[in-house]
Structure 1
């Protein structure tokens, strides 16, 4: 009987300010979902914006990166089968509140992130 992949916690700390690194983290999270891993994606720093809706059109902020899947599409994959969290301190510094978040995205802080990454068998990656 094959074993399940271990749980994965991915923290993305950037967005349009470092699109290649941001997209790598989102791609790893979405790929781990496809591989059957339980994924928790944390959006911190400027990546916090990726978990929000833009007031004018109800879509998350994005960036273009040649030869890469759009961040909003990768985020949708993780939201479908994993968990997405925006750092509460990062959100507060940017004026982001619960009403600004995409459906299914939650706000939480360092205590919960630490609890998640210290759980048995979890692999944590930071981008």
Structure 2
């Protein structure tokens, strides 16, 4: 099975696309795939404790549950520049989320057997 790299660039500003990214990542974790979810742009806010719990989309699995599933079985990374633009640091984000930049994303995306999706 290939690894899945999901980059989500939107948040509450585009709730359906945002929720789809988290749903795909969580479904891939449930299927046994190696998953890496990158929080960029407005999705960076979901690295902050409580923010995923505030997100709501009718008839969708709660974003907090999807994020929890990915954290439990995969990796979640917050974009360095996106964090800095929002005043976020390692001390203010959820446990289990790391901060890394474009070089790390590029390395992951170019790995053997990796399927990258951007939402």
TM norm structure 1: 0.90
More helix by share: 2
Cα deviations across residues 13-55 of structure 1 (Å, max 9, x unaligned)? Answer: 01101110000000000000011100000000010000112xx
Give the aligned partner of residue 116 of structure 2.
Answer: 124
Which residues of 2 match residues 13-92 of structure 1 at below 5 A?
13-53=9-49, 59-61=50-52, 62-92=54-84
Tell me the C-alpha RMSD between the 2 structures.
0.8
List 4+ stretches of structure 1 deviating above 2 A. Answer: 59-62
Distance 1:101 1:63 in 2: 16
The unaligned stretches of length 5 or more in structure 2 are none
Cα deviations across residues 45-92 of structure 1 (Å, max 9, x unaligned)? Answer: 010000112xxxxx2343110110111110000000100000000000
Give the aligned partner of residue 7 of structure 2.
Answer: 11
Distance 1:28 1:100 in 2: 26
The unaligned stretches of length 5 or more in structure 1 are 54-58
| Structure 1 contact 7–38 (Cα < 8 Å) conserved | yes
Distance 2:34 2:59 in 1: 26
TM norm structure 2: 0.96
